[in-house]
Amino acid sequence: MYDIGVAITGTGFMGPAHTEALRRLGIRVVGILGSSPEKSKRFAETHGIPKAYSTFDEILNDDEVGAVHITTPNRWHFDTTQAALLAGKHVMCEKPLTMNSRESAELVKLAKSVQLAAGVNYNYRFYPTSIEARARAPMLGEVVSVFGNYVQDWLLYPTDYNWRVLASEGGRLRALADIGTHWMDLVQTITGQRIRAVFADLRTIFPVRHRPKGEVETFSAKRVQHANTEAIDIETEDQGAVLIRFENGAQGVLWVSQLTAGRKNNLRYEIAGKQDSIWFDGERPNELWLGHRNKPNEQLFKDPGLMDPRAQRYIDYPGGHNEGYPDSFKMCFRSFYDYIAAGDYSATPFFPTFAEGHHEILLCEAILRSHDEKRWVTVDDQSFDGMTE
Ligand SMILES: NC(=O)c1ccc[n+]([C@@H]2O[C@H](COP(=O)([O-])OP(=O)(O)OC[C@H]3O[C@@H](n4cnc5c(N)ncnc54)[C@H](O)[C@@H]3O)[C@@H](O)[C@H]2O)c1
């Protein structure tokens, strides 16, 4: 069904995740670019990918490549995404879309001006339970509150290091941008309500971390002991709280931390409307808790036969057969390549768009400004449409 070749940049945590998800959809991964020709070659050999590129220009000039997946650290996203779109390639970029809103606004404009698909991988939207929650949101009544968290423990010790802790590689906002934006994207998608104002309190628990000499890939700290390290100053936050106002006046609270022992990758939300509520715990992604006032609460287990028709396209296994994190990539990409196959680039995509990725960058900047200035900060609507610079 999908007659397209894909090139991937980045060979760390996300490179294999994208490769696997694309292949499960029957999409050809034609080439890979790592941070050096040796890394490209090694990844190509390990994963059976025909081409190992040495430069990004080789991807741009490769006629076999119809789409590029960007899975490099954040600071590379803008240049490569821009170049790929200008070369006529569709782009699926990892989150966050760019390092700042000037860049993301530029990409929104560019994506509008070319007849191409442009998506950001906010994959949590594609859990079947996320789509179900989105379908059920209108039945909650007017949404009045949203609270939750996204917590992990992989940066718990000052000896834990990854490029994300450096503002120059990932942006000055770290935990909130890296994982908090997943939560914000998800609850906004489910409720249909945009976040319009934030009040943030952030904290860097370790102002100095110990960086191993040499490259360190994501989540590798627990597996690899590094003998040679150097002390580096850290200006990105380890954790933070954000008070939120949604466009309809609903209130929200978000807690984010990369230092919560035992929590490996824990995204939870509770959305309360004037009638009912929904609770989701990302450690049990096949379940949704539905809260009622006047009848017993319900527990919905993922089952295509019991779920909204919109979720059907994004469920491949029957009830009782769990679908999880890798499936959310597959389903996000299914939505992306369905869109390309349909060929109508004026249609509204179901996958996360560059405009939505830009909105997340604006939220990141508002969170940082709020923390620095100790006040509520409003997110600019006009910028959300990508019209201002
Ligand atoms: N959607 C999700 O659930 C999710 C999860 C993790 C990471 N991410 C995002 O994916 C991106 C990558 O994160 P990661 O965890 O895979 O990081 P990682 O450090 O594990 O991998 C990054 C890879 O990029 C390579 N690289 C660096 N510079 C490069 C360049 N110029 N050209 C080609 N390759 C280069 C590195 O060698 C490394 O292999 C980030 O933007 C991150 O925010 C998304």
Domain that holds residue 190: 125-308+362-366
**From ligand 1's centre to the CA of 15, what distance in Å?**
7
Nearest CA to ligand 1 atom 38: 12
pLDDT of residue 228: 82
Are the C-beta atoms of 389 and 102 separated by less than 8 Å? Answer: yes
Q: Which two tokens stand for residue 288?
A: 């949704």
The predicted structure's pLDDT at residue 213: 81
Q: Any idea what the CATH number is for the domain that residue 257 is in?
A: 3.30.360.10
Considering the domain boundaries, does residue 91 fall inside one? no
**Look-up of token digits 């569709």:** 90
Which residues pair with residue 353 across a beta bridge?
Answer: 119
User: pLDDT tier at 386 (50, 70, 90 boundaries)?
Assistant: very low
Domain total of the chain: 1
Does 84 reside within a domain?
Answer: no
Q: How many CA atoms lie within 13 A of 323 on its CB side?
A: 25
Q: What is the CA(373)–ligand 1 centre distance, in A?
A: 31
72 falls within a domain: no
Q: Are 194 and 384 in contact (CB under 8 A)?
A: yes
The tens digit of pLDDT for each residue in 273-315 reads: 999 999 999 999 999 999 999 999 999 999 999 999 999 999 9
Residue 223 maps to a domain: yes
Is residue 317 assigned to a domain? Answer: no
| 21 assigned to some structural domain | no
Q: CA 5, CA 336: separation in Å to the nearest integer? A: 14
Ligand 1 pocket: which of 8, 71, 182, 328 to mutate (most atoms <8 Å of CB)?
71
Q: Over the range 246-272, which residues count as b (16 or more CB within 10 Å of their CB) and which as e?
A: beeebebebbbbbbbeebeebbbbbbb
Whether residue 186 is contained in a domain is answered as yes
1 pLDDT band (50/70/90 cuts)? confident
160 lines ligand 1 (CB under 6 A): no
- Percent of the chain, pLDDT > 90? 92
- Rounded CA-CA distance 276/258 in Å is 31
